[in-house]
Each structure stands twice: as structure tokens, then as C-alpha cells.
Amino acid sequence: MQTNTRLIRKENYEPKELNLHETLFHNANGYIGIRGTLEEGVPTDYPTMRGQYIAGTYEIIPMKQAESLCNLVEEKQTMINVCDTQTIRLSVNGEEFAPVKGGVKDASRVLDMEEGYTERTTVWKSPAGNEIRVRIRRMAHFGIKELFTIEYEVEALNFSGEAVFDSVHMPEVANYSDPDDPRLADESPCYLKSVEKGFSGNRSFSVAETAKSGVRIAVATDHTVVSESRSDSMIREEGNALITRLRVPLKQNEKIAVIKYAAFSDSIRESDPKGKVMQVLKDAMKRPLSELYLAQKEYLSDFHAHSRMEIEGDAELNDAVLFNTYQLLCAAPHDAHSGIAAKGLSGEGYEGHFFWDTEMYVVPFFVLTDPTLAKNILSFRYATLPAARENATLLGHKKGALYPWRTITGVECSGYFPSGSAAYHINGAVAYAVIQYYLATGDADFMVTMGLEILLETARLWLDTGVYDREGRFCIQEVTGPDEYTCMVNNNYYTNASAKNNLRFAADLYEQFRDRAEVKKLAARLKLDKTEIADMKKAAEKMYLPYDEAYGINPQDDSFLDKPVWDLANTPKDVYPLLLHYHPLHLYRYQVCKQADTVLSHFLFPDLQSKETMENSFRYYEKITTHDSSLSTCVFSMTASMLGLKEEALAYFGDSAKLDLMNRHENTKDGVHTANMGGCYMAIVSGFAGLRITDEGLSVNPYVPKGLSRYSFPFAYRGRRLKLTVEKNSAKLELVSGDALEFGFRDTRAELGKEEPWVVKL
């Protein structure tokens, strides 16, 4: 089928629309992210988040508690707006190009996901009647991660004259804030102070530093002019700004262009960030821009070959899924110095913090499409394991590691511990991702050098947290599960199920690898003995998983069913999300869920309960879940698929897939919902297609939802490349490369050889 690889939107230059387009048309490559703001800027009364970001860079700021109780978090890390190199002000024959003030005859935006650029085209008529066509193409380069380019082209349609470009490099810029939204910062300071700035020839450069974290950011810009006529340039410093002015003659019907190159670097990764950006610009500008565009296209061709999903029967759904998977790539880190933020690199929502979302929703996508990127994400968790150990100590634990609820460097940044630090289930998410990566790749070297240590230290945390009750059940008290409308409870079902999985695999994989030299050294370093491994096995076996016989469901926790049920049917629509309109304590006293909790555990760990119990639970929680979290509907979709509830699965999936493109939560302006995009992928691959990877191997159980006629996707498994195609009446699994494979299909075993695809009637 023909896939639409371009997102095209009309640009009306209206404030609310511009704010949304800043997110949808941002540029990012896993290292740098640039919001899709207008080069010429907007009036001061327009809402805008004019940001440029580097993954993992941060400042430390106070977060004063009302009562300074023992070891409460009193400072946090926040992402920083590192610079402004976007600004280019254009004037033609002395008239400022200002489409927000009028004169627009036609305008559009494009995100090209095959070639890896965004483009804004505007036909504008000045007050004096001069008409120009402006085309601005931007690219964050996947091959040269420090490089961002702007190709600014102007065509005079009915006159000849002169174009003047004022290209700005602003080293000190403020962050965005909204004190009325807890998902954003409540102050807008400038976190960077210039250490050095100026020009080297015509090239601008700056080095700025944060006050407390000591992170240094280096940025450099340079320009080339494409014109038949001779252009003039002038450089100047104006306050904080470094400005390059370019004068270019304009002839009627002639296209002229200014190409702006910007390079970024930081002291977390580089010993000489300034030297790095200067070298990046020098090397990049030796190559024609067309060559850089071609390299970008080739990189994406390889990505799409391994990840592109095709859906027939719903063109909007097909486009949304492509948009989502492309955005996941834009957020994926190149190294172990950062994780994936809740908004990727598209905006400042949640202050750039990394949550459990990454491991539970995003890692599965990369495990199946690009295991190297999955390993990068998990390597970040290994690099921050010492901080997780320290976090556990601060919370009173004698052993183990507890990953922080929200972080940038591995240090806890959550000031509200009932729905933050108490969410111990993040340990289960990190462990689950490590396990899934190993089961899907067989990467034993990763396990013995990084993965096993993560599993053992997180398992130790459960042993130190849990207790055996009088009936001999292993119980976990005073924790918060994924549902943040229910906090500080005993025996949250999801948490206990995750801990059971963590404990079991930590013990099993240790025994599998214990004779390796690296593991013997690890055991000695951790002072690990057979008794502790036996304790892990016992705790996993005796883990208490709440069950209510009257309802035939798994209660979310010990006290959940004792609370009154929130009347969602009579709750006004304008008070959603509830967290913005009701005190947390009020929410905690009711049966009301922000997102999937027990329902998610049933999908992840289906062998723990009967199908009847899981379906009863699904129906029960469906009635009391608001889906105020973007992480919820995708989970309900994949769990519905697993239970054979096909109509419900498709309904929940559509809501999930189109969340950002349709701005369904009305907050995409703050950044994309990265984890939901991963969840959307899982809803197809693990939901509709029933693809599972367990310690018993690979299995599939596909169907085609009503309203769709066909879907297909490529994936990786244990060094193989495969492709699954599912139609109404048949499914086909092809071996693109690698060895023959035995796998599960429903209750049978099947074989896939090198010569012929496996085909089955449905």
C-alpha cells in the first residue's frame, strides 16, 4: 500500500494553532530538539514555548518542602532551554516579514518523515504590495547528532529589490513555565550564564554554564548564501545577542537562500564542547547541503525498513502510527548519558524528566525494531544504578536499589512522595525492560555486564521492603501503583505482580550465568550468596496477589474495594483531568482510576490469573477509569485484544493512536506524549498480533479488528529479521534474514524455515 510519509497542515498563524504546531513540527534526533517556533518570532501576548534542548542537560533548582521532614527531596533537576539559534528576521525592501500581523495569501507546514525535515511555506504580501514566497526547511541531523540546519529561501514574485536577514544567536534564554499546570515548571528563569561568546571570523560561538550543576553548553553558528548576486554580511553583538546581518539582492522570480548551520555540544559528553561545535561546523560546511539531506534520507530509509507498520482500512490510523514511530526515533538517545523524557525533546512538559514510561512503553518498540537503541536506554539505567542505591538508602533500605520516580541524572526529582517516591513499581518496570531485552536479543554480554546487576539490586529492594504475613504470604506495604488517584496502599496488585516477575528472573538468570567470570566477580562485589538467591525465589513464589471472591476480580489493593465508587457518569466534562480540580486526598478516598493499573498487570503477566478473572477485572476497572493519563487507553486496547474483546480493543486503540495528531488531551502544545506512542505500537504488535516474547520463546496470536482489512510490520528477534502480515482470513510470517525459527501459534508450535513463509488460515 502507499503510505503517506508527510504530515501536512494549513498554517493560519493563529495563536492556539501556532502553539500546537510548535510541537507537531519540532525537529529532534535523540540528542538535540528544537521546537517548531517561527523564525521571525511572535507578539509578546502570543502563547509560545520557544525552546532548544540537549538530551540529559539540566540545572539543579530548589524545591522547598513546607515541612523539612527526614530525607524529603528539597531540590530537583530541570531541563534547560540551551540557546536560541532559530531566530532569523527577514525584511524585504525595508518591510518586516511578519505573517502573524496579516498579509498571508497561503501558508502550510510539512513534516517529511521519509527525508527527515520540517518545512514552512508562506506566500505573503507586504503592506506596500510586494509579494514573496518564503520556504523554510529545518533538519536535526540523525547522522551528525550535534547539527541543526535552517535553509531559508525567498522568492520575489512581483518586484525586484533587497532582502535583509538578521540571523540571531542568543546564548542566554529563559525556560517556559505555567504555574497553573503541575505538569510544567512554575517559574521561567534563565538557567545559563555566558562564560564566553563572540565571533571567530563570521562564525558566532558561545559557551554558557549553569550555576549549580556546572553543565556547560557550547553553540556555534555559521551561514552560506545561495544567490546569483553578490551578498554582503556584517556581524555585531547587541546586548546578549550575536547577530549576523546578510544583505542579498532580489530579482523578480529569482530564488535566493540563506543556509544557517548550528552545532551544539555539552560538557557531560565532551571535555571541550567549544572545540567540538567548531569542528562539527567546519566538517558539515565542507559538504553540500544536498549531501546532508541525502544522508538523512538514507538513515531514515534503514529505520523505516525495520519499523514501518502498514495498516489498511483506516488511512488516518495508518498515518498516525507512522507519525508516532517517527517521533519515538526522534526521542531515542544515542548514548548512556540520558533516558527518554516524557515529552521526548519536543517540549518542556514534566520538566524533561524520565519516568517508568520509558521502560514499560518505549523500550518494547526499540527491542523489536532497533535493539541497539534499546540497549542505549537500558545502559542509562545501569549508569545511574549507584544513584538508585543511594535513593534506596535515603528511604531507609539496608540493601538494594530504588530507581527514582522522576529524574534526569538518576537522582529523585519528585517532591510529592505519595504519588512519586512511593511508586516503587518503577523498579518492576526497569527490571521488565531488562528481561524483555534479553529474551528478545539473547544478548548475554549485556546481561553479565549490566542487566543482571540491575535485576539483582532491584530484587534486593523488594526483599528489604516486603514482609511475610501470618499466612506466610509475601506482602508489600505502603506503595503507590500506576494509578496515581490511589496512593500509599498495601499490596497494590500491579506492584506485587511486577515484584514477583523481578524476583523470579533475578534468581533464574543469576543461576544461568553464575559460572561466568564476570558474574563471579559481581557476586563477590555485591556480597551475594546462595541464601539470598533462595530468598528471592521464595518471595516470588509466596507473593501475595489480592483476589476478591465476591466480584471475581483482583482488587487494585487491599483497601480499594472498601471505598465508595466515584460517580463518573455525573462528573462534568470540564473538570477533567480530575487531578487539576480535586485535592489529592479527596481522590484517594474513592474508587476512581487515573489510568490502567491492575488491567496493565494482567496484560504483562497473564499467567498469574485465569482468563475469567482477568475479564472480570477488565470490566470492573473499565467503569471507574477516567483515562486522564495518556498511558491508559493503549493498555486497555492491548488487554482487550488478549481477552478476545475485539471491538473494545479497536475503540481504545484509535483513541491512543491519534492522541497527538488530533490533540485529544488538548496539551500536545507542551510536547508529544512519547510513552503513549510506544503504547500505540504495543497495542498493534502485542495486542492485535498477539506477539509475545517469554522465556519459552516467541509466539503470535493475530487477528484483524473490525474496520481494518490488513496490517503488517517488521520486527527483530534473536538476530533475525522477520515480517508479520495479517489479513482477515490469514496470517503470514516471513523470515527476512537469519536462521530458521520455531515459535508458538495459539496452543500449537510452528516452524518457519528459510525457504518458505509460514502461512495459516484464521
Separation CA 233–CA 333 (nearest Å): 37
Cell readout for 63 is 524545591
pTM of the model: 0.95
Residue 484 annotated in active site: yes
pLDDT number for residue 67: 84
What stretch of H or E contains 455? helix 452-465
Q: Is the dihedral of CA 338, 344, 347, 348 positive or negative?
A: negative
Separation CA 259–CA 246 (nearest Å): 11
Among the listed residues 115, 119, 484, 648, the single catalytic one is: 484
Q: What are the structural domains, with CATH classification, of the chain? A: 6-60+75-276 (2.70.98.40)
Pairing state of beta strands 75-79 and 58-62?
antiparallel
pLDDT number for residue 267: 98
What is the per-residue pLDDT across 270-327, written as a single tens digit (0 to 9) for each? Answer: 999 999 999 999 999 999 999 999 999 999 999 999 999 999 999 989 999 999 999 9
How far is residue 341 CA from its own chain's centroid? 5
The residues of the chain scoring below 50 in pLDDT are none
What stretch of H or E contains 736? strand 730-737
Helix crossing, 633-643 with 674-682: angle to 10°? 10
Adjacent-strand bridge partners of 489: 479
pLDDT number for residue 175: 87
